[in-house]
Amino acid sequence: MQYRHVFTLGAALAFVLVPQMATRAQSGDPVGVVQRLQGDVTIIHSGNRAKPLEGMTIFLQDRLVTGASARIQIMLADDTQITLGEKAEAVVMRYQFNPFVSEQKSVMVVEVSRGAFLLTTGRISSIEVKTALAALTATGTEFWAGATGGGDEGVAVFAGAVDVTNELGSVVLSARAVTQPRFQSQRSTLGTFLRSSTDPVGTTLTRGKGPTEAVIWQQEKTDRAVDAITFDSEIAQNVTR
């Protein structure tokens, strides 16, 4: 199947702006930077609300909140990238990353209480994401999660593997055997990310039920998911191509 290409402009100075995490981050410690913004976005830091700017530092336990048609993309210190769609809310709850001590375990726990998101793991290869309906353990991957209609939530993996678990069951989504990354990042010297496309492997979560078995998502469902985290500027670029 052929899909449109999506281009995302990264922050070329992200690695300069983000301090390396030498120890476990405490509440209020910096963990990343804002890469891109669209529309009404709020960051709640220590109870105070602020409008973010590109390049602004993100701190541990900052709450990111997006309004209607809004988007925010952040880059954490280990190069993990998180993009939130509209009406989303997310917090980096725990973060430990030390690039200089290989024996020290890296840890990342992110809570996304509502809204769609795309997450690409960086140098922390194993990440836990808590959503309203499941706990997601991602290993060296790029995946999407969000509402799919009727109160259901979907999880789709474009690369790597994600363990999707709730109190009623679990399923492992692995893209390696059946597909290539839809969002395979290729960074140029200008910080531009070229994202390629194929079918992801996904599951559906319904409140009161365990996750469904892993299936390949078809083009229409995948396009709706991608649209939920795509910036307007990317759509305009695709229209003119």
* Mean pLDDT, the chain, integer: 82
Give 212's contacts (C-beta < 8 A, 6+ positions apart): 171, 203, 204, 205
Element at 220 (helix H, strand E): helix 219-227
- Tens of pLDDT, residue by residue over 108-166, are 999 999 999 999 999 997 799 999 999 999 988 999 999 999 999 999 999 999 999 99
Higher pLDDT among residues 24 and 118, named by residue: 118
CATH 2.60.120.1440 fits 6-240, yes or no: yes
Q: Give the whole-angstrom CA distance, residue 73 versus residue 200.
A: 21
- Tens of pLDDT, residue by residue over 201-235, are 999 999 999 999 999 999 999 999 999 999 998 76
* Burial 121-156, CB ≥16 within 10 A → b, else e: bbebeebbbebebbebbbeebbbbbbbbeeeebbbb
* Burial 161-180, CB ≥16 within 10 A → b, else e: bbbbbbeeeebbbbbeeebe
Query: Domain map of the chain by residue range?
Result: 6-240
| CA atoms within 13 Å, Cβ hemisphere of 132 | 19
